Each structure stands twice: as C-alpha cells, then as structure tokens.
Amino acid sequence: MTDNELLLRYREDGHSKWVGQLYERYSHLVFGVCLKYLKDQDNAKDATLAIFEKLMSDLRTREVATFQHWLYTVTKNHCMQVFRTASREQQHKNEFAHLEMEQNREDEWMALQLREEGLRSLERAIERLNLPQRTCVQLFYLERKSYKQIAGTTGFTEGEIKSYIQNGRRNLKQWMQINQ
C-alpha cells in the first residue's frame, strides 16, 4: 500500500496497524533526523517514539498530501522544540545555580556576622568575670595552657584553677543567656 492509502485507511477505521506500517517504513529516517538535531541516541529514540505517538492523533484529522515531506517537517519541528525546551531548562538551571550561590554567600556572611557578634559578646562576658576566674579562663581556653602551666604562671593551686574555670564557665553561660 502507498502512504496515502495507509493514511486513508487510518482515518477511516482508526486502527493503529496502519500507522504501525508507516512507522516501520519511516522510523529509521525519523531517528536519523532526530539524531542529527539532538546529537544523542537516547534522546533521538525518545523523540522518534514521541513523534509517532503524536501522529496517531494528528493523522485522524489532517489531510496530508505528501506524507514523507510532512513527516520530515513534523520531525524537524519536534526536535527544534526539544532543543528550545532543553535550552530554557539549562538557562533556568544556570539562573537557579547563580541565585543559590548568592544565597550561600549571604548565609556565610550572616553566619560570620553572628559568630563575630558572639565572640564580641563572649569577650564582654569574660571582662565581667572576677580577676582569678578571668585569668584562668583566658589561660586555659584562649591560650590552651594546662593546669600545671597556669599554676606556674599564677601561683594558684590546681584545685583553685579547676574551681575558677568551672565557676567562670557557669558565670559566662549565665551572662550569655541573659544577654542574647
């Protein structure tokens, strides 16, 4: 049967076997055009199937004079649409990635600001400690000295140092909670 005879029969009875014969006849050509435009075998296969699925509905209502030329135009237009859609999606992905990078920078800046504010607040709290607590806390936490080293520097016993650090930490915690 000719292409036109297959089309006429499909319009008359709607049986998919007529389009199936057109598929067998032209699928390799449609695939070739899709591959030329889409440059990917999997995408070309998907496009070929999508085009013939679309033909199932289009051919019921359209009068097609020269099927092969019409099919080529439909195929080319489908591939161009796939390409435009992919380009728009890539553009949206790029825009999203840019916005995400900006948001990450803002988040990092905000975290840095909060950390700096926390450090300034901690420095103010340390200044409020009495002299033995402040000295022991600064030497132990900021200068990373051991109890023995602090004892050698300050003359406090290790027991006194532990007590000053423990009480200093408690006082710092209370002051930080009150001033948040």
Task: Per residue of the chain (180 residues), give pLDDT as tens.
Answer: 888 888 888 888 888 899 898 889 899 999 999 999 888 899 999 999 999 998 888 888 888 888 888 999 999 999 999 888 887 777 777 777 777 777 777 777 777 777 888 778 888 888 989 999 999 998 998 889 999 999 999 999 999 999 999 999 999 888 878 876
| Domain coordinates in residue numbering, the chain | 3-87, 129-178
User: Would you state the CATH architecture of domain 129-178?
Assistant: Orthogonal Bundle (1.10)
Does the predicted TM-score (pTM) go above 0.85? no
Asked if the 3-87 domain carries CATH number 1.10.1740.10, the reply is yes
- Calculate the dihedral angle through the C-alpha atoms of 62, 63, 66, 68, rounding to the nearest 10 degrees: 20
Pull the structure tokens for residue 104: 């990450």
Q: d(Cα 55, Cα 62) in Å, to the nearest integer?
A: 10
